[in-house]
Copies of this chain bind each other. A is one copy, B any other.
Amino acid sequence: MATKKAVRTSASTISGIDYPIPEVLDDKRQLNEFAQTNSGKKIVCVQGLGFVGAVMSLVVANSPAAQYAVIGVELPNESSYWKVCSINTGTFPIASSDPSVEQLYQSTQRRKNFYATCDTHAYSLADIVVIDVNLDVQKKHGKQKRLNDFEVDLTGFKRALESIASVCKEDVLLIVETTVPPGTCEKVAKPLFDKAFERRGLSKRYQLGYSYERVMPGPHYVNSIRNFYRVYAGIDEQSAKATEVFLRTIIRTDEYPLTRLHSTTACEISKVLENSFRAMNIAFIQEWTEFAHRAHVNLFEIVEAIRMRPTHKNIMLPGLGVGGYCLTKDPLLASWSSQNFFLGTALAQSEAAVTINDQMPLFSYNEFSKALNGKLSRKKVLLLGVSYLRNIGDTRQTPVELLYTMLKKGGCTVTLHDPYVAYWQEQQCSVHTRFEEVCKGSYDVVVFCTAHSHYTESVVLRDWLSSAQPMLLFDSNAVLNEDAIKIYGRRHRILVIGRGDIHS
């Protein structure tokens, strides 16, 4: 008799429902039925149902010419399996402030052209596979989030490709959207598919393209795919052409023309370069933020003056730090590629940008500490915003985390609020979402971390601050505008990161 194993489950972060993960993943019957229902349509598999893949699936399934049926494929693990169940039972796995997301999902439900599965049999049915899996960098942080070292492990990515290569059609079109170390398509993906096709006795008629997304969750989520410029390339002319034809069916290329680059490596570099450009410019302005504090000047008015010049429009603003999945790692993917794929040196400036940005919240912490003369113990702090992005509940790599852990370590009692985050995954703690719940308490300091419109436009917040006992308002991320500073400044002490002209 077999011993009874504990059943693994996967909990939905949307509904809370806990789905047991089946031992055996045979979804062949349903997949074949889905294909039959959608006969006449091309089958597109989207591998990975994260922030990119999930909405990419909706955009493909809702292409203007309605020529696609989409199968989303995920891994059957604790953090992802629920997405498959959720999609197949009427609930899209991402809550978004963009109403188009729900509209597109409902339309796929009516058309019955979107299905999710964990069974890699799906790839055998696919005419096109879009690869949207994660490819992480393993950062090794020392004390105070100092980046000591990092590693890129391609094992998971290769396994994902292998699951396609071992069953896919001979003439499948593969489009990689995952951000990868430049060179990956040529040096990893192509050899892997070549080898699998040899093993399977197939001629190498597959096509392989690279086209990176510029997805921005939030109110323009769908538009950031459909209505935005795209760059692409193929490992050969035919692959590039096929990738282009596919992109033309889902993107408004009349308004947002495509750009073809001459190699997949060029296209992969393009992606990490554009994010490194941002990361580096943020790191650069941090140096000037610190200078502005020493020189007692307002860096915001300076940056505004400089941005009058068209050649200087992209100069960044002071802030708390850098969050999210891309800017915090993409420069490292490039540096890793330079060293491991092209036997060159590290990209020193790009690496330094990540190092500086990872530690940036320490400056806010130190200014906070200075403002309280170093007396943090038992200070009651209300921290507003844990997401790294305005009006979005995304806590991945949020810079708020370092500030929060430092405040706690310093002895502060921290109350958390974010209208978009009920549970802070990375810190495993719950967060107040209703401001009415937190404004009853009394605090020594209110820390503004995220420029949610709830904080910039809330009447409840304004009324509370206008009658509350005098506190320190510590704005770490340019949340308060000039008017707010003037009004609140009558009652409270104010300190704004980047405004060295406000003395605390």
List A residues at the B interface (Cβ < 8 Å): 182-183, 214, 229, 231, 259, 261-263, 265-266, 269-270, 273-274, 276-278, 280-281, 283-284, 287-288, 290-292, 294-299, 301-306, 308-315, 334, 337-338, 341-345, 347-350, 352, 356, 501
The main secondary structure of chain A at its interface with chain B is helix
- Residues on B with beta carbons closer than 8 Å to the beta carbon of A277: 281, 284, 306, 312, 315
Q: Complex: how many Å from CA A349 to CA B344? A: 22
Given contacts A288-B347, A291-B347, 16 further A-B contacts (CB under 8 A): A229-B305, A262-B297, A265-B297, A266-B298, A266-B501, A269-B299, A273-B303, A277-B315, A278-B312, A280-B284, A281-B281, A287-B347, A291-B334, A295-B338, A311-B314, A313-B313
| Structural contact, B287 and A302, CB atoms closer than 8 A | no
Known: A259-B304, A259-B305, A274-B312. A295 touches B283 (CB 8 A): no
16 contacts between A and B (CB under 8 A): A261-B301, A261-B302, A262-B298, A263-B297, A265-B297, A266-B295, A269-B288, A269-B302, A274-B309, A274-B315, A276-B284, A276-B288, A291-B344, A295-B338, A295-B342, A310-B313
| Structural contact, A306 and B273, CB atoms closer than 8 A | yes
| Structural contact, B309 and A229, CB atoms closer than 8 A | yes
- Residues on B with beta carbons closer than 8 Å to the beta carbon of A352: 349
| Structural contact, B349 and A270, CB atoms closer than 8 A | no
Distance between A152 CB and nearest chain B CB, rounded to angstroms: 16
| Structural contact, A305 and B338, CB atoms closer than 8 A | no
- Residues on B with beta carbons closer than 8 Å to the beta carbon of A287: 347-350
Distance between A377 CB and nearest chain B CB, rounded to angstroms: 28
- Residues on B with beta carbons closer than 8 Å to the beta carbon of A229: 305, 308-309
Q: Complex: how many Å from CA A284 to CA B275? A: 13
| Structural contact, A231 and B305, CB atoms closer than 8 A | yes
Distance between A182 CB and nearest chain B CB, rounded to angstroms: 6
| Structural contact, A311 and B278, CB atoms closer than 8 A | yes
Q: Complex: how many Å from CA A283 to CA B352? A: 13
- Residues on B with beta carbons closer than 8 Å to the beta carbon of A298: 261-262, 266
Please name the residue on chain B nearest to A232 by beta carbon: B305
| Structural contact, B302 and A266, CB atoms closer than 8 A | yes
| Most chain B C-beta atoms within 10 Å of own C-beta, residue among A231, A280, A291, A303 | A291
| Structural contact, B259 and A291, CB atoms closer than 8 A | no
- Residues on B with beta carbons closer than 8 Å to the beta carbon of A343: 294
Q: Complex: how many Å from CA A299 to CA B263? A: 11
Please name the residue on chain B nearest to A183 by beta carbon: B295
| Structural contact, B311 and A292, CB atoms closer than 8 A | no
Distance between A484 CB and nearest chain B CB, rounded to angstroms: 18
- Residues on B with beta carbons closer than 8 Å to the beta carbon of A297: 261-263, 265-266, 269
Out of B261, B294, B308, B345, which one reaches A338, CB within 8 Å?
B294
Q: Complex: how many Å from CA A182 to CA B309? A: 21
| Structural contact, A283 and B313, CB atoms closer than 8 A | no
- Residues on B with beta carbons closer than 8 Å to the beta carbon of A278: 311-312
Distance between A318 CB and nearest chain B CB, rounded to angstroms: 12
Please name the residue on chain B nearest to A303 by beta carbon: B273
- Residues on B with beta carbons closer than 8 Å to the beta carbon of A259: 304-305, 308
Q: Complex: how many Å from CA A281 to CA B314? A: 11
Out of B294, B309, B344, which one reaches A294, CB within 8 Å?
B344
Out of B262, B314, B349, B501, which one reaches A301, CB within 8 Å?
B262
